[in-house]
């Protein structure tokens, strides 16, 4: 895949959502953005890792029912693109995920052509919001 990371910038969304990912150039549909990076763990280890007992789970991305990735450390340290900084939108999502069994890993792609200056948004899904006990605004 073509490396699009040089065409992405991380900046404050300016509306209370924290940082987000924005295109600095037009991107075609189906452009590879990157993988969800972080600490890979088995679902059976979720509780023993402290999740649900004070450890922030808002950056946990479930690959499938067996594997998850905790992207918190990567997101908090990031000045450049990391998929953990993609903000949520169910109505305006323009990024899709693709699960790869090998690894296992999750890849992210543009769902359609993206204009320069546009924020890249992912629909986190209902399970994410239920797990952290928050109702999404969008």
pTM (2 decimals)? 0.86
Which pLDDT value is given to residue 92?
Answer: 96
The residue behind tokens 């990371």 is 5
Which pLDDT value is given to residue 137?
Answer: 75
In a 3-state reduction of DSSP, which class is residue 130? helix
Which pLDDT value is given to residue 135?
Answer: 82
Which pLDDT value is given to residue 95?
Answer: 98
The residue behind tokens 């919001």 is 129
Number of helices followed by number of strands (H, E) in the chain: 2, 10
Confirm or reject CATH 3.40.50.720 for domain 5-132, answering yes or no: no
Which pLDDT value is given to residue 1?
Answer: 60
Burial status of residue 133 (CB atoms within 10 A of its CB: 0-12, 13-18, 19 or more): exposed
Share of residues in the chain with pLDDT > 70 (%) = 96
pLDDT tens digits, residue range 44-78? 998 888 876 767 788 898 899 999 999 999 898 88
Give residue limits of the domains in the chain: 5-132
Please tell me the total number of residues recorded for the chain in this structure: 138
**Residue stretches of the chain with pLDDT short of 50:** none
The residue behind tokens 């952290």 is 132
């Amino acid at each position: 895949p073509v490396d699009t990371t040089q065409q992405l910038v991380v900046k404050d969304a300016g509306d209370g959502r924290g940082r987000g990912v924005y295109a600095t150039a037009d991107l075609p549909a189906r452009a590879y953005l990157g993988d969800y990076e972080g600490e890979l763990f088995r679902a059976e280890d979720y509780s023993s890792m402290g999740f649900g007992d004070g450890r922030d789970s808002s950056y946990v991305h479930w690959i499938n029912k067996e594997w998850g990735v905790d992207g918190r450390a990567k997101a908090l340290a990031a000045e450049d693109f990391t998929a953990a900084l993609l903000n949520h939108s169910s109505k305006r999502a323009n990024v899709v995920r693709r699960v790869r069994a090998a690894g296992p890993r999750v890849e992210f792609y543009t769902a359609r052509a993206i204009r320069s200056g546009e924020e890249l948004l992912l629909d986190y899904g209902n399970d994410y919001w239920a797990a952290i006990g928050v109702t999404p605004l969008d």
